[in-house]
Amino acid sequence: MLVTVDKRANGVALVTLNRPEAMNALSKAMRQEIATTFAALNDDADIRAIVLTGAGKAFTAGLDLKELGSDASAMGAANATDAERNPVVAIEKCSKPVIGAINGAAITGGFELALACDILIASENAKFADTHARVGIMPGWGLSQKLSRMLGISRAKELSLSGNFLDAQTACAWGLVNRVVAPEFLVETALKLAADIATALPDKVAAYKRLIDDGFAMPYGDALKLERERSSKLNAAVTPDVVAKNREDVMARGREQKN
């Protein structure tokens, strides 16, 4: 299997890109498996959070250039908008939070796949590169717009126009990843965070994730209006008794974490 899934009893699924001999390059077959996998996890009520990582030394090197070189029609994948050909769409369509555990190189399309995740945690071995300009193509999976919004336009241009690699520690300092951990603790750390998310109310987590993503794509004023509209509608359906009960659970959890 090019994509493996390990479902945990705590509502977390570990998804692994499993083509280490090719740096987990995104072949047509792998992209189709990614789409199938995330669609199934999205429909699985027992799964509340997902961790995505790569087998071997790379997260993913992006589109399989050997495959593209032998099939001119395969170039359409670079601008595809369907989940079966565009794995970024497959991940973004998933309502469950996705944590990217970046174990190694995330290059070009692999960089775009990483940015499709909601949260990134990096191994000390992780590195990122946008080599579109060096390969001779333009990004079509969102990299040119997401990166500048995350890092600022100047840093995004530095990475994308040079094609230089960004190491894990600098990626953390620039705000691309949330934290950097030793390789042996990467998956464990990501799974722990996923387990924390899985204990929250799943419908509210999904709604909150969607609110953040939708607002991020808007001007600030429009995003605030969107928040008020959705908040008013959802909060009107919540009773004081439910809030009181949830508050007790939150306080108990806070005491546990403090200890």
Domain count, the chain: 2
Contact yes or no for 63/78 (Cβ under 8 A)? yes
Does the residue 43 lie in any domain?
yes
Q: Pick from 7, 108, 10, 117: which is nearest to 53 by CA?
A: 117
Q: Tens digit of pLDDT for each residue in 128-151?
A: 999 999 988 899 999 999 999 999
- The pLDDT, as a whole number, for residue 70 is 62
Does the residue 210 lie in any domain?
no
Does the residue 160 lie in any domain?
yes
CATH of the domain at 74: 3.90.226.10
90 and 193 fall within a common domain: yes
- The pLDDT, as a whole number, for residue 237 is 84
111 and 233 fall within a common domain: no
d(CA 98, CA 92): 9
123 and 242 fall within a common domain: no
Alpha-carbon Rg for the chain in angstroms: 19
Ordered strands of the 12-17 beta sheet: 3-7, 12-17, 49-54, 98-102, 119-123, 179-181
118 and 229 fall within a common domain: no
Low-confidence ranges of the chain (pLDDT < 70): 69-76, 248, 251, 253, 255, 258-259
13 and 86 fall within a common domain: yes
Does the residue 204 lie in any domain?
no
Q: Which domain holds residue 145?
A: 3-198
130 and 250 fall within a common domain: no
Q: Tens digit of pLDDT for each residue in 51-91?
A: 999 999 999 999 988 887 666 555 667 788 899 999 999 99
159 and 230 fall within a common domain: no
Tell me which H or E stretch contains 125. none
- The pLDDT, as a whole number, for residue 230 is 95
253 and 194 fall within a common domain: no
- The pLDDT, as a whole number, for residue 258 is 67
- The pLDDT, as a whole number, for residue 67 is 80
191 and 251 fall within a common domain: no
Does the residue 206 lie in any domain?
no
Contact yes or no for 19/55 (Cβ under 8 A)? yes
Helices (H) and strands (E) in the chain, counts: 12, 10
148 and 55 fall within a common domain: yes
